[in-house]
Amino acid sequence: MTVNGRKVSADVEPRTLLVQYLREHLGLTGTHVGCDTTQCGCCAIHLNGEAVKSCTILAVQCEGADVVTIEGLASPDGELHPMQKAFWEHHGLQCGFCTPGMVMVACDIARRKPDADEATIRHGLEGNICRCTGYQHIVEAVHSGIQAMNQGKR
């Protein structure tokens, strides 16, 4: 598989979850483990361009796949992705534990619905749980991030 633009391979137990492989074998700890039951969404990554919960996928299922984690969104020089900037600028986080998954799902919403309104954003984020905020700042951040992505800002 390719992870954040880098080809990787390893012998792993067939039952190894993708989230475990990313964190324990590749050291990409930005992808969090929150619930282990696919409910919270903090483990969301992009698999072949779509947001998925990495706790629901076995690493061996990703042979030949393209995986992007939160670490892979920023440019190589460290400049934040427009969605990451929007979360920062609009206070779309408090403790930050859910943020990587929220950002990955938000980017997928932007890809699928570049004209997303508040209701569409809220619906798109339904699989992600934040225990700290009332979601309003998150929704505002996603809306701003979508606008920035539509304008081609990096």
Please write the tens of the pLDDT for every residue from 61-81: 999 999 999 999 999 999 999
Q: Where are the domains of the chain?
A: 2-72, 82-150
Look up residue 25 and give its two tokens: 């074998």
Please check whether residue 80 is in contact with residue 87, taking contact to mean a CB–CB distance below 8 angstroms. no
- Give the CATH fold of the 2-72 domain: Ubiquitin-like (UB roll) (3.10.20)
**Rounded Cα distance, 50 and 112, in Å:** 9
User: What is the reported pLDDT for 133?
Assistant: 76
Its CATH architecture, for the domain 82-150, is Orthogonal Bundle (1.10)
User: What is the reported pLDDT for 105?
Assistant: 98
Confidence of residue 30 (pLDDT cuts 50, 70, 90): very high
User: Could you write out the three-class secondary structure of 7-70?
Assistant: ECCCCCCCCCEHHHHHHHHCCCCCCCCCCCCCCCCCCEEEECCEEEEHHHCEHHHHCCCEEECH
**pTM above the 0.85 mark?**
yes
Please check whether residue 45 is in contact with residue 69, taking contact to mean a CB–CB distance below 8 angstroms. yes
**Rounded Cα distance, 108 and 105, in Å:** 5
Cα angle at 57 between 125 and 45, to 5 degrees? 40
- pLDDT value at 53 more than 70: yes
Average pLDDT, the chain: 95
- Sheet-wide strand order for 50-53: 6-7, 2-3, 66-68, 44-47, 50-53
Confidence of residue 154 (pLDDT cuts 50, 70, 90): low
pLDDT per position as a tens digit, 92-125: 988 999 999 999 999 999 999 999 999 999 999 9
* Mean pLDDT calculated for residue range 38-46: 96
Same fold across 2-72 and 82-150? no
Please check whether residue 114 is in contact with residue 35, taking contact to mean a CB–CB distance below 8 angstroms. no
